[in-house]
Amino acid sequence: MSLGQPLANARAVCPDLVAHEADLTADARLLESIADWCDRFTPLVALDPPDGLSLDITGCVHLFGGETKLMQSVCDALTAHGLTVSAAIASNAVCARTLNRQVHGRIVPDGEEAAAVSALPVAALGGSDAITLGLRRAGLKTIGDVASRGRNEITARFGAAFTRVLAQALGEADAPINPRKVPPDYIVDKRFAEPIATDTVIAASLSSLAAMLVAAMAQQGKGARRLEACFFRTDGLVRIIAVDTGQPVTDAAVIDRLFRERLEALSDPLDPGFGFDMIRLAAGRSEIVVQQQRDLDAHVHDNDELSALIDRIAARIGGKRVVVHLPVDTHVPERAALPLPAQHNLAATSTANWPARHDGEPPLRPLRLFARPEAIQVIAGVPDGPPARFVWRRAAHAVVRAEGPERIAMEWWRPDGQGLTRDYFRVEDEHGLRFWLYRDGLYDRELEQPENGPLVQPLWYMHGLFA
């Protein structure tokens, strides 16, 4: 049996064959999780779909006792999980991939790529079927044969992309990989001979990792604004928990506390299974920390306290739920304030300029504003006059006072600004409740009246409540 064989053929050979449909998304997910697991060897892991992974092990090899041992441990662990592995190490990713399509376990020293790949069949280059077939028809069976021809001939026949892959496989060109994640600025990790599973041990390990991380950052006077804890389970699953902060963190106790808050609040708690055999703490978005005089200037101290509090709340319930508002230069009431995550915009609020109120005027904007204005039934004295009575949420209100209209036109120059002009009224009912309502559309200009038939009435909406 072989890859690409028709099912009928295979059934003829083996009548008891059990056929399963290919589940490409599950395959991709598996590849992702293997890539997560490979993070323990190097932060630079790239996917090579459908079934390959490239690991940039530059500078990581000595940690695992040399290339041979590193490859051995990767292959052993993956084989133990029931996967079939073929691996190769070479100076670039394309060369290694070319090798491991044919043979397993080759390690090619620098400068010997051409010799290593030249004996391999052209199919190892991973080109499309048409290219492989074309090469074979031209009598070029091995990569060495193809390399011996002029590159311009190959390009003319098979395209520049193929020539580039050929050059990379021969080690003549560099083949950078595209890592899945941005490598963090600082990494510290802890491996455990005996997997750990209890909360106290996990917390203690995180604390000591935090101390190590802070020490590493302190040498360069830096603090991190993004922290990631990766928990590597013995069965290969990896759980990544990230915490963002508004100010660069330089204190191990703060990191410790943030992670405690985050771990407590997880909707699906950390499941150690049979235990974690490695925990890693990585710091990203690191910044140089400017030391400030803290004891004398109360303002600096207050700001520090506030941003630390916001970080803690954000760690527990999510950064998007803690917001500050920035003013937007617009007349449309629902767009006047822009909510932004407080963690990253706290500094911007102090310089924000909100429109000043007019002295001596009562509030002209409601204190509570409905994100979605609610339709109401209105009886108005004259067609474009203020409302006399209205029904909102099944309760009737008689208008005692009304002021308006304040006419607000929609922003037609924006893609989502195609609305009708609104005439806002400030009204007060017989109980003293104060409302902000509007009539949607101008009578003669925006609402088309039919030639003969009933008059089209504009709709009214409740938009806000005054204190």
Partner 1 sequence: MTGARMDTLARLRGRIARLEAANGAHDLRRVALGHDEADAVLQGGLATGALHEVFAEAGRQAAAATGFVCGLAARVAARRPLIWIRQDFAEREAGALSMSGLAELGLDPCRLVVVRAPDLDHALRTAADALACDALGGVMLEVWGETQKLDLVASRKLTLAAQESGVTALLLRVAATPEPSTAETRWMVRTAPSPVVAPWMAWGAPRLDAELIRNRHGQTGRWIMEWMPDACRFSEPAADPQPVAAAPAHRAHQAEPRRRSA
Taking the least distance from each CB to partner 1, the nearer of 72 and 349 is: 349
Q: Which of 133, 94, 278 has the alpha carbon at shortest distance from 196?
A: 278
Contact between 305 and partner 1 per CB under 8 A: yes
Taking the least distance from each CB to partner 1, the nearer of 327 and 381 is: 327
- Contact window for partner 1 (CB under 8 A) among 146-154, 165-173, 230-238, 395-403: 395-403
Among 101, 180, 260, 325, binds partner 1 (CB under 8 A): 325
Among 91, 102, 303, 421, binds partner 1 (CB under 8 A): 303
Scored b (16 or more CB within 10 A) or e, 225-240 reads bbbbbbbbbeebebbe
Taking the least distance from each CB to partner 1, the nearer of 328 and 409 is: 328
Binding to partner 1, residues 232-271 (CB under 8 A): 265
DSSP-derived 3-state class of residue 57: coil
Reply yes or no: is the peptide bond before residue 373 cis, omega within 30 of 0: no
Taking the least distance from each CB to partner 1, the nearer of 458 and 464 is: 464
DSSP-derived 3-state class of residue 33: helix
Q: Maximum distance among all alpha carbons in the chain? A: 96
**Which DSSP letter does residue 5 get?**
-
Rounded least distance, CB 460 to partner 1, Å: 17
Q: Which of 243, 141, 234 has the alpha carbon at shortest distance from 195?
A: 234
Contact between 302 and partner 1 per CB under 8 A: yes
Rounded least distance, CB 343 to partner 1, Å: 10
Rounded least distance, CB 268 to partner 1, Å: 15
Terminal C-alpha separation, the chain: 79
Rounded least distance, CB 337 to partner 1, Å: 4
Taking the least distance from each CB to partner 1, the nearer of 187 and 402 is: 402
Contact between 398 and partner 1 per CB under 8 A: no
What's phi and psi for 350, nearest 5 deg? Answer: -70, -20
Determine how many CB atoms are found less than 10 A away from the CB of residue 295.
7
Contact letters for partner 1, residues 347-376 (x by CB under 8 A)? --xx-x-xxxx-xxxxxxxxxxxxx-----
Among 32, 112, 271, 403, binds partner 1 (CB under 8 A): 403
Which residue type does 146 have? V
Task: Kindly state the helix (H) or strand (E) to which residue 316 belongs, with its residue range.
Answer: helix 298-317
Rounded least distance, CB 255 to partner 1, Å: 17
Rounded least distance, CB 381 to partner 1, Å: 15
Rounded least distance, CB 464 to partner 1, Å: 6
Taking the least distance from each CB to partner 1, the nearer of 113 and 311 is: 311
Find the helix packing angle between 151-158 and 160-169, rounded to 10°.
130
Size of the site for partner 1 (CB under 8 A): 61
The Cα–Cα gap between 8 and 279 comes to 49
Q: Which of 323, 237, 310, 248 has the alpha carbon at shortest distance from 274?
A: 237
Q: Would you state the torsion angle of the CA atoms of residues 80, 86, 91, 95, taken in this order, to the nearest 10 degrees? A: -160
Contact between 333 and partner 1 per CB under 8 A: yes
Taking the least distance from each CB to partner 1, the nearer of 12 and 367 is: 367
Beta bridge partners of 278: 191, 232
Among 4, 111, 415, 432, binds partner 1 (CB under 8 A): 432
The Cα–Cα gap between 230 and 283 comes to 11
Are 90 and 103 in contact, with CB atoms under 8 Å apart? no
Among 96, 258, 310, 378, binds partner 1 (CB under 8 A): 310
Concatenated DSSP letters for 391-433? EETTEEEEEEEEEEEEEE---TTSTT-----EEEEEEEETT--
Taking the least distance from each CB to partner 1, the nearer of 185 and 261 is: 261
- Contact window for partner 1 (CB under 8 A) among 46-54, 119-127, 223-231, 331-339: 331-339
Contact between 337 and partner 1 per CB under 8 A: yes
The Cα–Cα gap between 63 and 59 comes to 9
Catalog residues that contact partner 1 under the rule CB under 8 A: 265, 301-306, 308-310, 312-313, 316-317, 321-325, 327, 333, 336-337, 339, 342, 346, 349-350, 352, 354-357, 359-371, 395, 400-401, 403, 426, 428, 430-434, 464-467
